[in-house]
Amino acid sequence: MEDPCVNCENGLGTATSQQQNYVPTQICDVDERPLYGELILLGYNGAAEGQRSSGQLNRKHRSKMTLCRKDLFNGIKKFAISSTTAPPRQSQAVQDPSKHVVSYTYDKSHTVIVEYIPDESKDMFQIGRSSEDQIDFTIVDTWLAAGSNMVMSPAGNNMRLLRSSNCFDKNEVHPRPISSTISRYACRILTDREEPTKAYVYAAGFDNSKNIFLGEKATKWIKKNGEADGLTTNGILILHPNRNDVDEEASSSLSGDRKMYVWREVSVDGDIFTLRETRSSTKRGEMIPHETNQLQDGTLIDLCGATLLWRSADGWPTLLANRNWSISWMNSTLESLNVL
């Protein structure tokens, strides 16, 4: 049966045999499949074509992506955990192209291998800077130098970054490229095919060989249950709107008793932590066991270079009913909680 989205203007086109292995997301304005929600890339409006050096067009960089149930499930769940003294790439599980594997390397003689198997009750969507087939939503930094496509930092010390020591001029700024801070495989979202309102975000996405590698220098640890977990280099941050507690939070913030919104960091395994002292610090924050990585309508996802807004399918009608509240929330959040 032909996918109704394949020929849509905003679709990804007909999948090749290699692409079918990853069941790439089809993006369509009208779709009869159950809807999970929508990711909106803040700071963008419209789409732009990227181009490879070979002259072939890359996937479009969209300003939003609608997530609906895939025709063929591609979700995963944990299956087995093992340890090896050999380098992770020599592991049989890592070399198996049919398996999704996360490798935690603690030193040259100790690597924890976590194997995943297909989960027919879940769909997986991956987000990152890479334009590889397994990445559903390709994201680039939301600040670009005009005319030269050079990526620049949005930080307050941007002027310092752009002044070259070899060509300093008080009256002239010499732009130079700044490396992107968005990971090629930034994060992944797992959605429940039977309960579409349930969507969960995890740090790190899988590469085109279905692997995630956390090297010796990565922040990682062994949990109380004996399982491994870790953080990505620049981290994936989330901010929940806590809509059920809006009135309580608002009244508390007016009295100065508590902050209305709090950024958290999500781990590779989906646990929630307070922020690190610096974005790339090797010391993780404090675990918050009562908070969850389940996305709420209005959750912000910060990729360290771009911020996504999650709108759940059941939240869209509420947006129309509470339009003034939504605009107020968005404005206050963008003004006071910019973590880029």
Pinpoint the alpha helices (H) of the chain.
Answer: 17-20, 92-95, 158-162, 246-255, 316-321, 323-336
pLDDT tens per residue across all 340 residues of the chain: 333 332 233 333 333 333 334 444 444 444 578 899 999 999 876 555 554 444 444 455 678 899 999 999 999 999 999 999 999 999 999 999 999 999 999 999 999 999 999 999 999 999 999 999 999 999 987 654 333 444 343 333 333 333 433 434 445 444 555 678 899 999 999 999 999 999 999 999 999 999 999 999 999 999 999 999 999 999 999 999 974 444 444 444 444 445 668 999 999 999 999 999 999 899 999 999 999 999 999 999 999 989 999 999 888 665 545 555 555 666 666 666 554 4
Backbone angles phi, psi at 18, to 5 degrees: -70, -40
Give me the CATH number covering residue 308.
Answer: 2.60.200.20
Domain membership flag for residue 174? no
Give the range of the structural domain holding residue 290, as residue numbers without chain letter: 35-43+61-75+122-152+179-208+229-244+259-316
Q: The tokens of 157 are what?
A: 């010390």
Domain membership flag for residue 327? no
CB-based burial label for 268 (10 Å; 0-12, 13-18, 19+) = buried
Annotate 304-340 with b (16+ C-beta within 10 A) or e (fewer). Answer: bbbbbbbbbbebeebeeeeeeebeebeeebeeebeeb
Measure CA 234 to chain center: 12
DSSP 334: H
In total, how many domains does the chain have?
1
pTM across the whole model: 0.74
**How far is 284 from 270, CA to CA, in rounded Å?**
14
Domain membership flag for residue 107? no
